Amino acid sequence: MSLMQQMNQRAFDLGIPLGIHLDVTYRCNERCVHCYLDHDDHGELTTTEIKDILDQLAEAGTFFLTLSGGEVLMRRDFFDILEYARRLTFNVQIKTNGVMIGLPEAQRIRELGVEQVQISVYSHRPEVHDAITKLPGSLQKSIRAIRFLKSQGLNVVIANVMMTANMGDHMGVRALARELDVIYALDPTITPKMDGDLSILNLRIPGSELNAVFHNEDLVGNVAEFCAPPPPPDDDIMEAIPCSAGHTAAYITPYGDVFPCVQFPLPTGNLRQKRFLEIWRGSPALEEVRSIRAKDLPVCSTCSHVGSCTRCPGLAYVEGSMRGPSTADCEKSFHRTGIPSANMLRKARVGTAGPLVQIQPVMA
Amino acid sequence: MTETYIARSTAIAARVLGGEMMVMSAVDSTFFTLNEVATVIWQAADGKTPLSTIVTNHVCAQFEVEPEAARRDAEQFVESLARHGILQVSDHPFENAPAAPGGSR
C-alpha cells in the first residue's frame, strides 16, 4: 500500500474529510454548452465567511483543497482566499478556464505554492472550442495562460471534456497538451444540471465513440487490461464503499451548502447555519451515504461489473436513487468490456431500452 | 558552536492526521509522513528556535531518548527534509515565522 493509500485509509478509519472541493463562485466568463451550473449570483459566501470555512476545514483535518467554480478569478478576492488557504497549509488545486490568467497571476499562483492548475480545453481548433465556451478568443487565451503557468514551473493539467460537439478532437487536444508539456485528462462525462434539468445529457457522446475511446491505446494504455472482463465478485468487493464521497470527501457550494460531492447534490447542511464538523459528523443524510456498501445496491450488487464499475452514486442519486444504478456508468462498463450491465439487461427485459446495441445515455 | 535554525518551507502542504504529520512538497509533489518525534521537531521549526533547544525542550522532554542520540537523529531528519526543500536551514534565525499546520488528532 502506498503512503497516499495509507493516508486515505487512515482518513477513512478516522472519518476525516481529507479532500474538499470548494466552488468559490458559480459566476463565469464563459457559457459552456454542457455546463451544469446557474451562473447568477444568489448570495455568494463573503471573503470573511470563506476564510472562516477554511479555518474550520483545517481544524477538521482537510489536506486536499480544490478551488473551483464557475470561474474562480471572477471573484476579485480570489488571491486573498488562495493566500489564506495556503497559509493554512492546504494542498491546493485550482480549476479554471485560464482566460483571466496573465503573467502576474501565474507568478502569484507560483509564489503561493499551488500544487496543480487544471484548465479546460475542449478542442485544439478555436472554432470548436470557442463555440462550446461561447466566448470568442477563449482557446487562444486559455493556451496563453497555460504557457504563462508553465513558464513559472507550475504543474498544469488540460481537462478535455468530451461531448458530441468536440468528439473528433480529443487526439488534437492531446497533441496540444504534449506540445505544451502538460498532463492531459479526458473526461467523457456530461452531468445533469444542478437544478435537475437533464437536457444537456443530449451532449453525451454516443456509445460507439465511447467504445473507440476505451479501445484507444494512446488514451488508456494497455487496452487488454483496461477492457478486461470484470473480476468475479467476492466478499471484499461486496463490502466495499461506492466511492469517497461523504466518507473522506465533500463539496461546498458558493452559498455554503455541503454535499457529499460536486456530482452528488444531496443536501446535508449549510455552513451559514452550522459549523462544518457539525454537518460532517451529524448529518443523517451523510450517515445514510456512509452506510451503503456494494452489497446494499439492489441492482448493482447483482451485476457482474460490481467490482470494476465506475458507478457514481451522485449520478445515481440524480437519476432517482443513491442506491440505484448510474446509467452513464453502465454504458461505460458495457463499452469498455462488451458485457452488458445488470441494469441494461433489466431494462431490456422490461422493454424500456430496446435492443442492447441501441442503448444510449439517459434522455439521449 | 554555531547554532542551526530550521523553518518550515512555505512551498509545502501539511496537516496532522490522527497524530501523524503529512507533508507534501509543492515543488516536486514528494509526500512524507512524519513519525511522532519528527512531527514534534517539524511543529517547533519556527525559524527562531535553535535546533539544539528544540531537541532539549521538545524531543528529550517528551520522549525517552538520550540527548546525544536525539541530536544525531534530529540532524539527520533536518538534512533529509532540507534536501527535499520542505525545511529551510540557516545558521541565523529566520525573519518570517512559517504558519503552523493544524489538523485532527
For A42-86, write each residue's pLDDT tens digit.
Answer: 999 999 999 999 999 999 999 999 999 999 999 999 999 999 999
Establish if B22 belongs to a structural domain.
yes
Establish if B92 belongs to a structural domain.
no
Q: Which of A11-20, A60-69, A339-348 has the lowest mean pLDDT?
A: A339-348
Cell numbers at residue A122, please?
475542449
- pLDDT score of A127 more than 50: yes
* CATH number of the domain residue B53 falls in: 1.10.10
What is d(CA A130, CA A137) in angstroms, rounded to the nearest whole number? 7
Per-residue pLDDT at A41: 94
For A232-248, write each residue's pLDDT tens digit.
Answer: 999 999 999 989 999 99
Contact A3 B33 (CB under 8 A): yes
Calculate what percentage of chain A has a pLDDT beyond 90: 87
Per-residue pLDDT at B105: 46
Per-residue pLDDT at A359: 40
List chain B residues with CB under 8 Å of A90.
13, 15
Find the domain containing B53 and state its range: 5-85
| Residue with cell string 461506492 | A242
Confidence of residue A196 (pLDDT cuts 50, 70, 90): confident
Q: DSSP string of A321-349?
A: -TTS--HHHHHHHHHHHS---HHHHHHHH
- Parallel, antiparallel or unpaired: strands A249-252 and A183-187: unpaired
Per-residue pLDDT at B104: 54
Contact A61 B15 (CB under 8 A): yes
For A169-195, write each residue's pLDDT tens digit.
Answer: 999 999 999 999 999 999 998 988 878
User: Do residues B59 and B37 lie in contact, with contact meaning Cβ atoms separated by under 8 Å?
Assistant: yes
What is d(CA A236, CA B79) in angstroms, rounded to the nearest whole number? 42
Per-residue pLDDT at A31: 97
List chain B residues with CB under 8 Å of A61.
15-17, 103-104
Specify the 3-state DSSP secondary structure of B71: helix
Q: What's the number of domains chain B is made of?
A: 1
Per-residue pLDDT at B83: 87
Establish if B75 belongs to a structural domain.
yes
Establish if B52 belongs to a structural domain.
yes
> What is the rounded radius of gyration, in angstroms, for the C-alpha atoms of chain B?
13
What is d(CA A363, CA A342) in angstroms, rounded to the nearest whole number? 19
- pLDDT score of A360 more than 70: no
Contact B13 A4 (CB under 8 A): no
User: Do residues A139 and A121 lie in contact, with contact meaning Cβ atoms separated by under 8 Å?
Assistant: yes
Nearest by CB to residue B103, choosing from A61, A87, A114, is A61
Per-residue pLDDT at A355: 44
- pLDDT score of B98 more than 90: no
Per-residue pLDDT at B11: 86
Confidence of residue A364 (pLDDT cuts 50, 70, 90): very low
Backbone angles phi, psi at B43, to 5 degrees: -70, -25
- pLDDT score of A353 more than 70: no
- Determine the residue type at A193: K
- pLDDT score of B37 more than 50: yes
A155 touching B (Cβ < 8 Å):
yes
Establish if B46 belongs to a structural domain.
yes
Calculate what percentage of chain B has a pLDDT beyond 90: 47
A18 touching B (Cβ < 8 Å):
yes
What is d(CA B88, CA A97) in angstroms, rounded to the nearest whole number? 34
What is d(CA B15, CA B21) in angstroms, rounded to the nearest whole number? 6
User: Do residues A245 and A17 lie in contact, with contact meaning Cβ atoms separated by under 8 Å?
Assistant: no
Per-residue pLDDT at A363: 46
Q: Which of A163, A156, A157, A172 is nearest to A124 (CA)?
A: A172
Establish if B93 belongs to a structural domain.
no
Establish if B63 belongs to a structural domain.
yes
Confidence of residue A358 (pLDDT cuts 50, 70, 90): very low
What is d(CA A5, CA A18) in angstroms, rounded to the nearest whole number? 12
Per-residue pLDDT at A357: 41
Query: Across all residues in chain B, what is the average pLDDT?
Result: 87
User: Do residues B46 and B97 lie in contact, with contact meaning Cβ atoms separated by under 8 Å?
Assistant: yes
Confidence of residue B101 (pLDDT cuts 50, 70, 90): low
**What is the arithmetic mean of pLDDT over A316-329?**
93
- pLDDT score of A272 more than 60: yes
- pLDDT score of A135 more than 60: yes
- pLDDT score of A224 more than 90: yes
Residue B77 makes CB contacts below 8 A (sequence gap 6+) with B38, B41
Confidence of residue B100 (pLDDT cuts 50, 70, 90): low
- CB contact burial A79-93 (16+ within 10 A = b; e otherwise): bebbebbbebbbbbb
Per-residue pLDDT at B103: 60
Q: Is A98 exposed, middle or buried (0-12, 13-18, 19+ CB in 10 A)?
A: buried
A250 touching B (Cβ < 8 Å):
no
A1 touching B (Cβ < 8 Å):
no
List chain B residues with CB under 8 Å of A4.
31
Per-residue pLDDT at B20: 85
What is d(CA A325, CA A307) in angstroms, rounded to the nearest whole number? 14
B12: DSSP letter:
E
Establish if B99 belongs to a structural domain.
no
Half-sphere exposure of B37 (CA within 13 A, CB side): 18
Backbone angles phi, psi at A155, to 5 degrees: -85, 115
- pLDDT score of B27 more than 70: yes
Portion 88-147 of A in contact with B at CB < 8 A: 88-92, 113-115
Contact A115 B29 (CB under 8 A): yes
